[in-house]
Amino acid sequence: GEDVEQSLFLSVREGDSSVINCTYTDSSSTYLYWYKQEPGAGLQLLTYIFSNMDMKQDQRLTVLLNKKDKHLSLRIADTQTGDSAIYFCAEMAGGYNKLIFGAGTRLAVHP
């Protein structure tokens, strides 16, 4: 079945770049997403990438997709304390816009 895997924790210094990695299994996924969850809140869509793209840039965010290796990454440039949150990778699978989520990567930003 479909599965999405992420490392659980990442710690970076303020101002550095953060790279969060994700692997997925469903090669037929048309869209892949990155969501952000701040403490006590729901999930907020950060960005998405269509499966025929290799890269997408949106201000401080860069998404890289390696479809051959089924690997997705999210790079956050100039990481700030406000970026501290849990980041979820998700793939669309199984119809009706259903999403399969990874376990989430907790990003901690320290001075």
Partner 1 sequence: NAGVTQTPKFRVLKTGQSMTLLCAQDMNHEYMYWYRQDPGMGLRLIHYSVGEGTTAKGEVPDGYNVSRLKKQNFLLGLESAAPSQTSVYFCASNGQGATTDTQYFGPGTRLTVL
Binding interface with partner 1 (CB under 8 A): 4, 8, 30-31, 33, 40-45, 48, 50, 88, 92, 96-99, 101-104
78 or 96: whose CB is closer to partner 1? 96
96 CB-side CA count, 13 A: 1
Instruction: Provide the β-strand partners of residue 101.
Output: 90
The answer to whether the CB of 42 falls within 8 A of the CB of 19 is: no
Give the tokens for residue 3: 């599965």
1 or 111: whose CB is closer to partner 1? 1
20 or 43: whose CB is closer to partner 1? 43
Within the chain, where are the H helices? none
State the nearest-atom distance from the C-beta of 6 to partner 1, in Å: 8
State the nearest-atom distance from the C-beta of 101 to partner 1, in Å: 4
